[in-house]
């Protein structure tokens, strides 16, 4: 008796060509056409691409990123955007109120000239607006000399009054007759550059010290963590009083600037070092790290080539959130006279002129530097929140 073996072959039912009732094939997991060719698959996307996809859904963070970019464009082109020499003083123009730009006379914006005189009773300077004259405001005018990008000598400015630097004061002047708008642009450059340099140096110190602490452990980890605890336990105000007294009065503005940036970075690296240490401890015993050690890789290569790239997105988010603290730090200390000091120009230095109620009441435009401080801090905070959420694209 012969056993019959039957083999079931899959039957493929294909709809006839031209059948209107044919059902279109459903793109499933096994179909190579599941995703359009122009849209990369999430399954094979890199971490950087996943982070970008998630970040762009955070509209407030994207807008904040644009604001931050605009601020740093101001940092680059501060002299080009300014129309008056920020260091030029003129006692005859002391505390001029903001002068609005009006539109338009013969397709040109214009301002009314302001004339000042001394009150014979109070000896206070009083300013009058002469509405009978109109001074045209032009674009790409010649003004004070400066170096574009620190290299090219030029005197071209975005706008101003041709042939006169003192005919325009859109944000008023300070007690020494210096233009507030032009000084505000230069102050933005100083404050944001200090924050950038301080965060960059703090990033280097934090990654190195945190990587060494988490990778080697033992007494090295204990020693580094105790140093971090000591730095975090030092009272801030007495520390900066001592530092302000230690900086020589004969130092130039540039020397004080770099000294201030380095000092801030030495204090700001501790939080990032702890973040890096914790992340390294999580992957310290992973198979690929053990394999790299068995293959003879040096600790430096294991830390900076195999470990740190795994949480680069977290480092970027932590670094972005560190910017507001740096900016507030510099502004507050300069405001108290413990940081930068004149003739340096920063937001804190400018706010020193608004320390009393009398200045605030009589010359409220001296508080204008508060506005960019608030805007840039909020922008960095929202940007950091968006990057922190995007750093975990698998959540």
Out of 173, 202, 218, pick the residue that ends a domain.
173
In order along its 395 residues, the chain shows pLDDT tens digits of 444 444 444 444 444 444 444 444 444 444 444 444 445 565 676 777 777 888 888 889 999 999 999 999 999 999 999 988 888 888 888 888 888 888 876 677 888 888 877 777 777 778 888 888 888 888 888 888 888 887 888 888 898 887 776 778 899 888 888 999 999 999 999 889 888 888 888 888 889 999 999 888 889 999 999 999 988 888 877 877 777 777 887 787 778 878 877 877 777 788 888 888 988 888 888 888 889 888 888 888 888 888 888 887 778 878 888 888 888 888 887 887 777 888 888 898 888 888 877 777 888 899 999 999 999 999 998 998 888 888 765 55
Residues 330 and 335: their CA atoms lie apart, in Å, by 8
Q: 197 lies in a domain?
A: yes
In a domain, 214, yes or no: yes
Residue 238 pLDDT: 80
CA distances from 185 to 133, 149, 263, 264, 373 (A): 29, 15, 24, 23, 12
pLDDT at 394: 52
User: Residue 333 falls within a domain, yes or no?
Assistant: yes
Is the same domain home to 154 and 239? no
Tokens 């094979």 sit at which residue?
44
Beta strand pairing call for 108-111 and 135-136: antiparallel
Same domain, residue pair 238 and 116: no
Are residues 242 and 153 part of one domain? no
CATH of residue 213: 1.10.3720.10
* Res 165: pLDDT: 66
Contacts of 66 by beta carbon, 8 Å cutoff, 6+ apart: none
**Cβ of 165: how many Cβ atoms within 10 Å?**
20
Same domain, 288 and 317: yes
Instruction: Quote the pTM value.
Output: 0.79
Contact 347, 340 (CB under 8 A): no
Q: Are 98 and 241 members of one domain?
A: no
How many domains would you assign to the chain? 2
Together in a domain, 314 and 216: yes
Does residue 223 share a domain with residue 109? no
Does residue 166 share a domain with residue 196? Answer: no
The model's pLDDT over 76-116, given as tens digits with 9 standing for 90+, comes to 999 999 988 888 888 888 888 888 888 876 677 888 888 87
Give me the pLDDT at residue 202, please: 86
Task: Say yes or no: 169 and 186 in one domain.
Answer: no
Same domain, 222 and 265: yes
Domain boundary among 128, 155, 173: 173
Rounded CA-CA distance 97/364 in Å is 9
Measured between alpha carbons, how far is 234 from 230 in angstroms, rounded to an integer?
A: 7
pLDDT at 186: 92
Domain membership of residue 296 (yes or no) is yes
Q: Is there a domain that residue 105 lies in?
A: yes
Note whether residue 16 is domain-resident.
Answer: no
pLDDT at 33: 47
Domain final residue pick, 173, 199, 224: 173
Are 161 and 191 part of one and the same domain? no
- Residue 17 in any domain: the answer is no
Angle at 12 between CA 11 and CA 16, to 5 degrees: 135
Residues 208 and 251 reside in one and the same domain: yes
For the chain, count helices (H), then strands (E).
Answer: 13, 7
Does residue 23 sit within a domain? no
- Residue 231 domain boundaries: 65-74+182-390
């Amino acid at each position: 008796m012969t056993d019959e073996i039957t083999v079931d072959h899959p039957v493929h039912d294909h709809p006839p060509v031209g059948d209107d009732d044919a059902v279109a094939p459903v793109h499933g997991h096994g179909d190579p056409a599941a995703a359009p060719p122009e849209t990369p698959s999430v399954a094979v996307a890199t971490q950087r691409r996943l982070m970008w996809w998630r970040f762009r859904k955070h509209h407030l963070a994207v807008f904040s990123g644009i604001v931050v970019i605009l601020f740093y464009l101001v940092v680059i082109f501060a002299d080009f955007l300014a129309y008056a020499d920020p260091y030029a003083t003129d006692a005859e123009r002391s505390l001029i109120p903001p002068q609005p730009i009006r539109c338009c006379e013969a397709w040109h914006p214009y301002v009314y000239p302001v004339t000042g005189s001394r009150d014979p009773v109070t000896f206070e300077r009083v300013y009058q607006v002469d509405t009978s004259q109109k001074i045209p405001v032009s674009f790409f005018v010649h003004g004070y000399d400066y170096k574009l990008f620190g290299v090219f000598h030029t005197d071209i400015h975005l706008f101003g009054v041709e042939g006169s630097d003192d005919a325009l004061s859109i944000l008023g002047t300070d007690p020494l007759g210096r233009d507030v708008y032009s000084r505000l642009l230069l102050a933005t450059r100083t404050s944001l550059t200090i924050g950038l340099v301080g965060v960059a140096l703090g990033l280097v110190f934090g990654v190195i010290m945190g990587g060494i602490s988490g990778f080697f452990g033992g007494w090295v980890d204990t020693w580094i963590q105790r140093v971090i605890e000591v730095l975090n336990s030092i009272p801030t105000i007495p520390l900066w009083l001592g530092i302000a007294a230690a900086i020589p009065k004969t130092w130039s503005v540039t020397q004080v600037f770099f000294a201030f940036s380095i000092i801030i970075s030495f204090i700001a690296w501790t939080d990032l070092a702890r973040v890096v240490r914790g992340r390294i401890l999580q992957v310290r015993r992973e198979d690929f790290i053990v394999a790299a050690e068995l293959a003879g890789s040096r600790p430096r290569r294991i830390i900076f080539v195999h470990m740190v790239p795994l949480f680069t997105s977290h480092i970027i988010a932590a670094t972005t959130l560190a910017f507001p603290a740096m900016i507030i730090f510099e502004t507050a200390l300069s405001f108290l006279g413990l940081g930068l000091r004149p003739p340096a120009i920063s937001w804190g230095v400018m706010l020193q002129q608004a320390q009393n109620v009398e200045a605030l009441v009589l010359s409220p435009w001296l508080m204008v530097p508060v506005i960019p401080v608030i805007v840039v801090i909020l922008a960095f905070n929202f940007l950091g929140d968006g990057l922190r959420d995007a750093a975990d694209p698998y959540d």
